[in-house]
Structures are given as C-alpha cells and as structure tokens.
Chains A and B, each alone.
Chain A
Amino acid sequence: MATHLAPYIHFPRNDAAEAFAFYGQVFGCEPSIQRAGDQPMPGMDQLDPQRVIHAQIQSPDGVNLYGSDDCMDQKITPQGFETCIMTDDTEMAEAWFDALAEGGHVDMPYAAQPWGDSYGQVTDRFGIRWAVNCAGPQHR
C-alpha cells in the first residue's frame, strides 16, 4: 500500500510550471508537469493547452508537493498555512531555507529557537509561505 498526504497548491498566477521547476532545483529532483494539451479530457477542452493541470515533486528525501495552475479560475491566493519541512539534517535545512528565500522574502530568519530547534519562515518568489524546522540535539 502506498499512501501519502501532501499540500496541493493552486497557483493563482498560473505559474505552477515555473514554481515546480524551482522546487525541483531546491530539493534535487525532476518535477513532473502535465499540461491541458498533453492529455485532452472532456470538460477541459476550453482550457489553454499550456495550462498546468497537475504538477508534482517527489524528492529522494521524502518531500512531496502537488500543484496546478488555477484551472477553475478561482483566483484564490494560497494563504492561512505554511508548507512545513521537518528535518533533523542541519546542512540540508540551511541549504533549503537559503534556496527558497532567493528572490523571495525572509519572514523570520533561520535561527535557534526557544523550543530547542532551529527554525525559519520564508515567502518564496511565488508567494508560497514555507517553514523549515530542524530538530535540535535533544529532539533527535
């Protein structure tokens, strides 16, 4: 049985392809991008064939993320959540945080926190909020 849960982000500016290319670089994996024109389906024939109807990354480190362009034209800004990475690998955590912040905005610098871990928050260049938490020695 293979089951997992992950956020599915709908990009209101229809830049899912660029976003997943970026996330593929950050996490070191090949994004999969399906466009409306790749797989014609009833009900989707009105869509621009370039629209991304499904994108995903599944990194070797276990980072799974899904997304698409705004195919329903809902124009809803993703908000009220963070895409959160929990790890115990200090080097990876810092590298991911720095890579995600490039061209984006650091909301809370990555640093040691009162709860014993290192943590930071960033809004990436696509407007998606991320949190990176790296377990401190007593939490490993």
Chain B
Amino acid sequence: MTAHLAPYLHLTDNRTAAAFEFYASVFGGEPKFMRAADMPMGEGIDPQAVMHAELHTPDGFHLYGTDMVQEGMPAPQAELAIMTDDAELGHRWYKALSEGGELFTPMERQEWGDEYANFADRFGQDWAINISTPKN
C-alpha cells in the first residue's frame, strides 16, 4: 500500500495555476490541472477555475491545491516545511522560492546546528527550509 500526507492549499483569486507553474519551475515536475470545464461537478463555476491541481516532484514532494475557496476564506495560514540534508539543493530552492517574496529569517546557521530560513513566497505562501548538518 502507498500513502502520503501533503498540504492541500486553497488559493484565493484563482492563483492556483500560476502558483503551481511557479512551484514546478522551482522543484521540477509537471503540474496537473483539472479545470471546472473538465469535471462533471463544475457546472456554474468559471470553466477556467482550477478545481484540483497537483505537483509531484522528482525529489518526492507532493503538493495539492485548488481555486475553490469558501466566501471570505483568507490565504492559507500554513507553513510548508522542507527538511533536507542536501545543502546545494536547499540553497537553490531558498533562492528561487523567496524571489519576489518576503524574508522573515534569512538562511543562516541556527542555534540548533542546522541552516534554516523562513519566508513568504510571491503568492504569500509561508515556507521554512531546514538544511541539516551531518552530525559526526
């Protein structure tokens, strides 16, 4: 059996397609979009609206999202954490994801011995990247 747990983001203002294209440009992988026009329950909804988006990356990340939000629902208040031991990849993702966004904690060595950064990307999505240091 296979199972995985992943965040499912509800993005306001129909930004899901743009956000998933961006995440695919950062992490690789081909985003898949199911639009309202493709689905039987999409009646009465903007046919271009993304009902379901998913991205599976070569490094094993899974991200899901949709343009479907409830009235008055704010932007997602969830932090997406990337835990890695690959410093080169961690730095590359940090640079690409934070471009045009807002830095809260720049990538630096932290008290717990790892490199870590915390920021919002250009879509307002919060991320944390922790690059673990090999413990001898």
Q: Which of chain A's residues have a CB closer than 8 A to the CB of B10? A: 80-82
Q: Residue A111 at the B interface, CB < 8 A? A: no
B31-72 interface mask toward A, CB cutoff 8 Å, 1 = contact, 0 = none? 000000001110000000000000000011111100001000
Is the pair A8, B8 in contact by a Cβ cutoff of 8 Å?
Answer: no
Which residues in chain A, 32-64, are within 8 Å of chain B measured between CB atoms?
39, 41-44, 61-64
CB distance from A133 to the nearest CB of B (A): 9
Verify A63–B1 contact, CB threshold 8 A. no
Please report which residues of chain A, range 71-106, place their CB below 8 angstroms from some CB of chain B when the two chains form the complex: 76-89, 92
Other-chain contact of A63, B4, B79, B111 (Cβ < 8 Å): B4
Using Cβ atoms and an 8 Å threshold, which residues of chain B touch A79? 73-74, 76-77
Across the interface, do B84 and A2 meet the contact criterion of CB distance under 8 Å? yes
With A1-B85, A4-B83, A43-B111 known as contacts, the answer to whether A89 contacts B3 (CB < 8 A) is yes
Q: For residue B1, which residues in chain A have a CB less than 8 angstroms away from its CB?
A: 61, 87-89, 92
- Do the beta carbons of A5 and B111 come within 8 Å of each other? no
User: Within 8 Å of chain A (Cβ to Cβ): is B9?
Assistant: yes
The verdict on A7 contacting chain B, using a C-beta distance below 8 Å, is yes
How many chain B residues touch A (CB < 8 A): the figure is: 39
Task: Report how far A4 CA is from B59 CA in the complex, Å.
Answer: 8
Q: Could you tell me if B8 and A131 are in contact, using CB atoms closer than 8 angstroms?
A: yes
Q: Tell me the chain B residues, 9-32 only, with Cβ under 8 Å from chain A.
A: 9-10, 12
A66 in contact (CB, < 8 A): yes
Q: Is there an interface contact between A5 and B2, defined as CB atoms closer than 8 Å?
A: no
Contact with A3, one of B9, B75, B86 (Cβ below 8 angstroms): B86
Closest-by-CB residue of A relative to B88 is A1
Q: How far is the CA of A92 from the CA of B41 in the complex (A)?
A: 27
Q: Once the chains are docked, how many angstroms separate the CA of A140 from the CA of B78?
A: 30
Given A3-B86, A7-B7, A62-B4, is A80 in contact with B79 using a C-beta cutoff of 8 Å? no
Q: How far is the CB of B59 from chain A (nearest CB, A)?
A: 5
- The answer to whether A8 touches B128, judged by C-beta atoms less than 8 angstroms apart, is yes
Contact partner of B61 (CB less than 8 A), chosen from A4, A62, A80, A81, is: A4
Contact in complex: A7, B80 (CB < 8 Å)? yes
Q: A7-B78, A7-B81, A63-B5 are in contact. List 19 more A-B contacts (CB 8 A).
A: A2-B83, A3-B61, A5-B6, A5-B61, A5-B82, A6-B5, A6-B83, A7-B5, A41-B111, A43-B111, A62-B4, A78-B78, A80-B76, A80-B78, A84-B6, A84-B64, A88-B1, A115-B39, A131-B8
A-B pairs with lowest CB-CB distance, top 6: A80-B76, A89-B1, A87-B3, A8-B81, A84-B8, A3-B84
